[in-house]
Amino acid sequence: MAYRPLADEIRPTTLDEVVGQKHILGKDGLLRRIIEGGNVPNLIFYGPSGTGKTTVANIIAQRTNRPLHRLNATTASISDIKDIIADIGTLLAPEGVLLYLDEIQYFNKKQQQSLLEFMENGKITLIASTTENPFFYVFGAVLSRSTVFEFKQITAQDALPAIDRGVSILEGRLGGKLELEEGVREHIASACGGDIRKAMNALELLASAAKREQGKFLVTLDDAKTAAQKSAMRYDREGDAHFDIASALMKSLRGSDPDAALHYLARLLEAGDMTTAIRRLLCSASEDVGMAYPQAALIVKACVDNALQLGLPEARLPLAQAAVLLATAPKSNSVYQGIAAAMADVKAGRVGDIPRELQNVHADSAGLEREQGYLYPHDFPGHWVRQQYLPDELKNRKYYQYGDNKTEQAARRYWDEIKKP
């Protein structure tokens, strides 16, 4: 008998066997009701790999008794689609076909458009899958003719029944009991990162290397840790996971949660993405802490410089120091709001002429020198003198508002005293 990968052999044949996805495939799940109703529309499955997208497409094909054609957009072409279309209406596919198009984001606009005519007349029912956000990567006309379902990452608890089924199959292959040390099931379930395919591959590897003792095949926890290490890291620098983790780090810093900040920083560093971590830390120092603790920008920059000199893994220490500092520092977004308001005026064309007092006097053409009238603040008490700095049409505009923290309120009181009439 030809070898069959465990991940393929364990593939569910009914909706009840699908791991996770209870939000769409549970008793009252919308996708389950659509499939059981038999009138399946064009679908787009969005979510991480190994979460059941292909499996559900296979089950739909079985339930609707329609031929299922599979294409992967990384290698398929328009000619492949034309070959499938040529079968429609023949004895091979009298009622049309299901086309499962994996990684649809790799099809360009022209390739996706070639599907439209046949999607509309019902000869092709498209089931597309993607690990990227379809609202960014799928052509609008295809998207508008499809229903999107998100497949969520599978939890460790959800993965345990699949691991038990895998053990049962492997015992049949080995002809003996496959005994897992305490903690092996749970470790594989958590280390697979929600990818059942990875879990089955790890389990199959462990079974092939299991120690035979008294007619049993023993899988140790140490072997499981070696086989499954880093499998839980789900990260793609060009994909949604990258932006999700970076966003989570930034929001944890802003939300003053040092534990969450360290967690997301660790995920970036474990993936080797120190650049993203540094950018978020440097940005947060000015955007979220700002004038509430201005020294934070200097400290974070020093931590970043140290990290760059050290390199990973030691770089994790100064970067963690920066993350904890930012998460526990007082917060103010007055700098962010101020520059955002100023940029909005500039982009809208509200600029006006620079007051004569502020112009570069040396730029005057020969013979056209004019009295500038600039008042040098350091010549006046308190190093301040009242004069107009903004253009006339913006002279009363307020961009910066003092934050309600101790540092900015101290500055406000100082300048209120200096500038009082």
Q: For residue 212, is pLDDT > 70? A: yes
Closest by Cα among 184, 198, 194 to 155: 194
- For the beta sheet containing 216-219, the strands, ordered from the edge strand earlier in sequence to the opposite edge, are 177-180, 216-219, 211-213
Structural Rg of the chain based on CA atoms: 31
- pTM surpassing 0.95? no
* Cα 311 to Cα 292: distance, rounded to the nearest angstrom: 30
Q: Is the pLDDT of residue 164 over 60?
A: yes
What the block records as the tokens of 199 is 């879990």
Residue-wise pLDDT for 323-342, tens only, equals 999 999 999 999 999 999 99
Residue 105 pLDDT: 86
pLDDT at 243 over 80: no
pLDDT digit string, tens, across residues 107-161: 888 888 888 877 877 778 889 999 888 888 888 888 888 999 999 888 888 888 8
pLDDT band at 76 (very low <50, low <70, confident <90, very high): confident
**In the chain, pLDDT over 90 holds for what percent of residues?**
31
222 burial type by CB count under 10 A (0-12 exposed, 13-18 middle, 19+ buried): exposed
pLDDT tens for 364-376 read 555 554 566 788 8
Within 229-315, where are the H helices?
A: 240-254, 258-270, 274-284, 295-310
User: 156-166: b or e for each residue (b if 16 or more CB lie within 10 Å)?
Assistant: bebbbebbebb
Domains, the chain, in order of start with CATH, read: 21-150 (3.40.50.300), 156-228 (1.10.8.60), 240-328 (1.20.272.10), 355-419 (1.10.3710.10)
Give the integer Cα–Cα distance in Å for 65 and 63.
6
